[in-house]
Amino acid sequence: MASLEQYADQYQNIRFERRNGILQITFHTNNGPLQWGAGPHEEFPRAFADIGSDRQNRVIILTGTGDAFSGPQGTAAGAPKRSPQEWDKTYWEGKRLLTNLLDIEVPMIAAVNGPALRHSEIPLLCDIVLAADTAAFQDSGHFMSNLVPGDGVHIVYPMLLGPNRARYFLLTGQSIPAQEAQQLGLVSEVLPPQTLLPRAWELAEQIAQKSDLVLRYTRVATTQHIKRQMQDLLGYGLSLEGLGSADSLLNQ
């Protein structure tokens, strides 16, 4: 079992704050909005494993820093072009990024503080998703950047949007603003940025009134079907993404 004292200072891209069993994890890059790259991709699977094995965590709030949840906008020039041997690390981390997140067995609340342009599936795997009215959801790092969308977006978005709408979203690089995301069922509440985190804490404190076992087992019960889809489809999708990456390497 992990303790907050052991992992609180271990991650360059995450800040931790815990009060009364409610752990707020805040993504950042140099104290500004999170910029996806090799660092977060390596850190987040380990961090989610630590969070999930810390029995003092009873409710999780997940948020970003500043005016964006995650970026930068993906481009074809920035998409990875790797050999199969080089892709193996990405494959290993990519599987654990989402499976370790789903193995956090306490309720999770996402407070999406701004546009989520990269790995927008992460907040959508939380149990309650709140969004600032400035937020938007996009998969800018895959198909529109000449990369196969196989690292979990191919599971999460069809599950939430339906297969046809999700394929349109992934193939066109559509950006879904917060209000539309609420209408589509991705988001539960849309709030002014200044009230987003207070509302997340209000809900967390309400949820934390339940017993430890009710908290843990409710999360387990309501994510089991998602974990089954990850087990069946995530590794395969990452393998296809790796083939596309290797093809781009050969043809550059």
Domains with residue ranges and CATH for the chain = 4-250 (3.90.226.10)
Which position among 43, 93, 121, 241 bears the catalytic label? 121
How many Cβ atoms from other residues are within 10 Å of residue 89's Cβ? 13
pLDDT for the residue numbered 83? 86
Element (H, E) at 60: strand 59-63
Neighbours of 251 (CB within 10 A): 7
3-state helix vs strand vs coil in the chain, percent to 5: 50, 15, 35
> Is 42 labeled as catalytic in the residue annotation?
no
pLDDT of residue 247: 81
Cα-trace Rg, the chain: 17
Give pLDDT, residue 221: 98
- The percent of residues in the chain predicted with pLDDT above 70, rounded, is 99
Angle between helices 153-161 and 212-250 (to 10 degrees): 120
Its pTM stands at 0.96
Q: Residue 176: beta bridge partners?
A: 137
Q: Whole-number mean pLDDT of the chain?
A: 95
Can you give the pLDDT at residue 49? 98
Low-confidence ranges of the chain (pLDDT < 70): 76, 252
